Each structure stands twice: as C-alpha cells, then as structure tokens.
Amino acid sequence: MNSILSFKIAIQTVKDNLRISLILIGLFGVMAIVYSGMFPAFKDMLTQMAEAGGLDPFSSFFGVAALEMNTFVGFLYLEMYQIFILIILAIVVGFVAASMISKEIESKTIDLFMSNPVSRKQIIFEKFIGLVPMVLIINFVTMIAIMGTTIAIGEELNFSYLFMTHIVLIPYLLSIVSIGILISVIIDEKMKGSIIMIAAIVAMYVYQTMGQMISAIEFVKYFSLMNYTNLFDVLKFGKVDVEGFIILCTVTIVTLIIAMIYFEHKDIKI
Amino acid sequence: MDVIKTKNLTKYYGEIKGVEGLTFTVKKGEIFGFLGPNGAGKTTTIRTLLGYLNKTKGEAYIFGKNIEDEIVEIKREVGYIPGELNIYGHLTGKQFLDFFSSLRHREMTLLDDLLKIFNIPLDRKVKGYSKGMKQMLGIIQAFMDDPEMVIMDEPTSGLDPLLQQKFYEFLQKQKKKGKTMFFSSHILSEVDKICDRIAIIKEGELVALEDVETLKSKSGKKIRLKIKEKPESFKGPKNMIVKEGYIEFSTTDNIDKWIKQFSKFTVLDLQINDFSIEDIFIHYYEGES
C-alpha cells in the first residue's frame, strides 16, 4: 500500500515525459494565441457570410456552432476546440499514452523494471497518473493563452464558461489517455499501438460528424467520446452536459480497470 | 529451508513447450547452478518463477510464498539480473539506481561496497555505457539492498576476467552471509567453480539435479592411457575408444582394478581425471559417457 501511495513510477513517468510535455505546452499555448488572435482578421468576412446565409451549409457538418462562426465564441469553438483540442491534442496525448507500456516491452526495459516489488496494477495506475500533469498543464496553459489573447484583442468571452469548458475537457482527455494505455497493454509494438490510437480518434470524429449529418445513422455518434463534451454549450451558455461528463469519467475508470486486468494476465515475453 | 520449491512447474506458449514438469528445490545459502544451452528453458523457468509468465500448471513457491498470489511480496526479497540487460538509456547510472532504490523501499546497505567493486561512471547516461558497464549496473541494482536471494541469468556476460573473478568472490561472501543465489549459465567453468548444486535442463525438462561433487563422483573417472603395445590388445570397458594412439574410457569402478590391468603393459602415459561439469553436461546432451 505504501508503495502505491509513494507514486515513484508516476513521478518517473512525469520526468520521462518532461521534454515532450514542455514542447506540447509551448505548441498548444502558441496555437491558442494564434487561433484566438486571428478572429479580428476574419470577423467582418464571417459576419457578411452569416448575413448572406453563407454559414448555413456548414451547420450540417459542424453543428449549430457553425452558424455563429462570426462570433468569437463560435469561431473559438470551431477553429480552436473542435480541431486543435478535441482532435489534435487528443491525438498527441493518445499517441504518448498508447506507447506507455509497449515501449517498455519493445525496448525490453520492462524486464528489470518489473523485477522490483511493484504490482502490475500499480504500474498501469501510476503510468496513468504520470500522464495527468501533462494533460492538465497543456489544458490550462491553453485556457490562459486564450484568456490573455481575448483581453489583448478586446473581444468578449465569459471566463467562467471558459474555465468550465476546460474542466469538461479533463475527463475527455483522460479517457483518451486510458484508452491509449489499454492499447499499449494489448499491442506490444509501440508504433503500431500509437497508429491504432490515432485511427480510433479519427474514427470517433468521423462517427461524430456522420451521426450529426445523417439522421438515419445518428446512433454512431454515441461511439464517439467527442459527443459527450458538448463544448459549444459550455463555452457559450455555461451549460455542462452532466450525463456526458459522467460517461467520460466512467469510460476513463472502466478502461483503466480493463487495462489493469489485461496486464495482470499478460505474459511478458522478451 | 527451501528458498525455491517447484512442483511439476509447466509453461507452454500455446502449443509450444517452454518447460514441463519441473520439480526442484533451492536451499537457503546455496549457489544453485541452472544449466542448459540456449533454448533449453532456463529463461522460461526464471521468468515463470518471477511472475513475468503465467504458469500453465504446477506450483512454485519462493520463501514459502506462492508465485501466483504473492509475487510482489516475493520480489521484496529477490534481486534479478536478466540475461539481456536493457536499462533506460536516457537516465544516468545514478538516476537509474535512485529510481530503483525508491521502488525497493529498503536501505541500500550494499550499494557503497558494490560501487567500490564495480567502478562505473554514475553521472554518464546509460546509453553511453559499454556492455560491461551495463552488466555491472545490472549487478549493482540486483544486490544493492542485500536481498535474501538473487536470480541471475548469465550474469557475467560482458565482464572481463578480472571483474568476473571479483564477482565470484562477491558471490562467495554473500553465500557466507546465508544469501541464496540462483545462477543460470551456459559457461560451465564458472558453474563448476562457484555452484554447490546444479540442475541440468534439456528441452524444457530437468535431466539432472545433484550436488556438484556427487554428480562428479557418480560420473566416475576419465582414464587416458598410452601403451607401447597395440592399443587393441588392451581389454577395456564397453565405452573404450582409441583416439590418436591413446586408449580413452570412463569408469565408476574401483580405480585399483584398472591400475592392475595397466601393469600388464608398458605404460607410456597415463592420465586419470575427475569428470568436469562440462563432461557431465556433454554426457546429458550428447549421450556420451
């Protein structure tokens, strides 16, 4: 029990991922500044398009948020959150998580690592915990960058809603991390695992948009974790999809438990 | 006291046999040699004992604890040097040892002594280490908290003869302290030199398990004789061969009987030797006697 509470593996995981974390924090911070800072340049053009009904065709693909692309909230949601956070950040975080265990197996460092008195469940749990700081820091640095840029360009944005948006993103990103860890436990080749993770995120995005566009196959959107974030509603109205929040938390926990059980019974062949 | 006790321990990889029906014990305070060529099942046995592989059937206990249910507790008292040492290259030697120390939750009582024997550049990243340096680091991490038993899979590979000698001396010291060593190797001379008992594994099954001295004495003597007369005129046992003018055979009989036989000839050269572990090993593997 003491060894679980000491979080030595988690701390080492944080240290091991420090460089990639710093790069990602810088990258997403800059992206947030660039994308939110771009709005004034597009504002007039988007307003004209909205008045002429030019945004309507986008709504079937991007949802109701597309109709408000001429507002700062709509622009931010579509350009920043839907593309860079829900897809790109998820891909990056998932890519890292999907190699957590497999890279130890592939490089055979798992052999010495597991000679220590640590349980397999502890390894999975602490590897997960070790990725949480990276996720949280990227998430909140992005939020702070958006806040700063909003003030700098003189746009209006409810910062409480912005904060709530980034709270909702936590279970979403953590569910991606736990799915990545599950993949890394099942697939021994780290590159293969990471590619499967990317494919899964892209597939979720496709399910989400297809489910929104075609009512006959609306049910497919429920297979997408993005469906449970409803970030536009949070960002614009401060309305959190509590059910979706609980589903994302549940997916995180259940996936992590499955990863632990699978790893517990897995033969570590070198 | 039995430190390791296995009963009918079996591991199959699907349809492929890894090891089957292994029943043996390792006693406290002994250096137990585990012999076999590559692919015989040595590493599978070790990895099953340490919980890396799930056994197919049978039982195994280390310090009286079941490997299936209490592997974390077992590992508190067991150090391990894998056959293929892969250490985190991005860490320095010191960072690696600090990380492993933090996972052991014990005082690193032997660390300073080990660092005096095995001089490695602790501030350098492991990826810049030579094979020998990595091996030394592997040895240090296994023994640094002075565990009750260390399981070693080819531990001296990559060490120069001087370091090998220092390592053997260190093992003897540990043995005197009552520590147990499970020593898997295919370098028979080192097994002969340091082990108290040996097990020989062939195609996943134990074919011999004996004290080194008992095994040697059971195997008898090797006799090599050159006589002035025609070698064929000497009536030896069934296993006698004539090679390069020498009569060669092995015997478990009273040696006096053969000396009396030799006295009937003009003896030019005579060599009587005990069997080495290597001879015994070859006997089990090639059916030579």
pLDDT of residue A30: 95
Instruction: Give the separation between CA B269 and CA B244, rounded to whole angstroms.
Output: 13
Q: Read off φ and ψ for residue A85, nearest 5 degrees.
A: -95, -60
Per-residue CA distances from B3 to B27, B32, B65 (Å): 5, 11, 9
| Partner residue facing B103 (CB), from A16, A116, A270 | A116
Tell me the mean pLDDT in the region B195-218: 87
Q: Which residue has the higher pLDDT, A96 or A58?
A: A96
Q: Can you tell me whether residue A180 is helix, strand or coil? A: helix
Domain region containing A250: 23-265
Class of residue B287 by CB neighbours under 10 A (exposed 0-12, middle 13-18, buried 19+): exposed
pLDDT of residue A5: 61
Please check whether residue A59 touches B, CB under 8 A.
no
**Is the Cβ pair B104, A117 closer than 8 Å?**
yes
Residue B122: which pLDDT band, with cuts at 50, 70 and 90?
very high
Instruction: Give the separation between CA A25 and CA A143, rounded to whole angstroms.
Output: 11
H-helix or E-strand containing B207?
A: strand B205-211
Strand order from edge to edge, sheet including B246-251: B241-243, B246-251, B221-227, B267-274
- Which residue from A133, A160, A134, A132 is spatially nearest to A147, judged by alpha carbons? A160
**Is the Cβ pair B72, A107 closer than 8 Å?**
no
The dihedral through the CA atoms of B66, B71, B73, B74 has a sign that is: positive
Quick one: tokens of A159?
A: 């910062």
Instruction: Give the separation between CA A101 and CA A40, rounded to whole angstroms.
Output: 45
Q: Which residues of B touch A3 (CB under 8 A)?
A: 103, 105
Instruction: Give the separation between CA B184 and CA B143, rounded to whole angstroms.
Output: 16
The answer to the question of residue A64 being in a domain is yes
Q: Is-contact B9 B23, C-beta < 8 A?
A: yes
End-to-end alpha carbon distance in chain A: 29
User: In angstroms, what separates the C-alpha of A7 from chain B's closest C-alpha?
Assistant: 9
pLDDT of residue A52: 78
Bridge partner list, B59: B7
End-to-end alpha carbon distance in chain B: 34
> Which tens digits make up the pLDDT trace of A176-217?
999 999 999 999 999 999 999 999 999 999 999 888 888 899
Q: Is the pLDDT confidence value at A50 over 90? A: no
User: In angstroms, what separates the C-alpha of A8 from chain B's closest C-alpha?
Assistant: 7
Instruction: Give the separation between CA B94 and CA B99, rounded to whole angstroms.
Output: 8
Across chain B, mean pLDDT equals 91
Number of domains in chain A: 1
The answer to the question of residue A18 being in a domain is no
> Which tens digits make up the pLDDT trace of A16-47?
999 999 999 999 999 999 999 999 998 888 88
- Which residue from A254, A106, A89 is spatially nearest to A185, judged by alpha carbons? A106
Q: Which residues of A touch B106 (CB under 8 A)?
A: none
Least confident of A7-16, B201-210, B211-220: B211-220
pLDDT of residue A60: 67
Please check whether residue A3 touches B, CB under 8 A.
yes
**Is the Cβ pair B53, A9 closer than 8 Å?**
no
Q: What percent of chain B has pLDDT over 70?
A: 99
Tell me the mean pLDDT in the region A149-158: 94
Q: Which of residues 101-120 of A touch B (CB under 8 A)?
A: 107-109, 111-112, 114-119
The answer to the question of residue A2 being in a domain is no
Q: Can you tell me whether residue B2 is helix, strand or coil? A: strand
Q: Which residues of B touch A267 (CB under 8 A)?
A: 13, 52-54
Q: Which residues of A touch B80 (CB under 8 A)?
A: 112, 115
Q: Is the pLDDT confidence value at B38 over 60? A: yes
The answer to the question of residue A223 being in a domain is yes
Radius of gyration of chain B (CA): 23
The answer to the question of residue A3 being in a domain is no
Q: Which residues of A touch B51 (CB under 8 A)?
A: 114
**Is the Cβ pair A6, B138 closer than 8 Å?**
no
The answer to the question of residue A162 being in a domain is yes
Give the strand pairing for B149-153 and B180-185: parallel
**Is the Cβ pair A115, B138 closer than 8 Å?**
no
Q: Which residue has the tokens 């099953």?
A: B48
Buried b (16+ CB within 10 A) or exposed e, A125-162: bbbbbbbbbbbebbbbbbbebbbebbeeeebebeeebb
Going along chain B from its start, the domains and CATH numbers come out as: 2-216 (3.40.50.300), 220-286 (3.30.70)
Q: What ipTM does the predicted assembly reach?
A: 0.86
User: In angstroms, what separates the C-alpha of B282 from chain A's closest C-alpha?
Assistant: 28
Q: Characterise B36 by phi-psi region: left (phi > 0), alpha (psi -120 to 50), beta (else).
A: left
> Which tens digits make up the pLDDT trace of B103-120?
998 899 999 999 999 999
> Which tens digits make up the pLDDT trace of B233-261?
998 888 899 998 999 988 887 888 899 88
The answer to the question of residue A155 being in a domain is yes
Instruction: Give the separation between CA A233 and CA A238, rounded to whole angstroms.
Output: 6
The answer to the question of residue A15 being in a domain is no
Q: Which residues of B touch A16 (CB under 8 A)?
A: 90
pLDDT of residue B284: 74
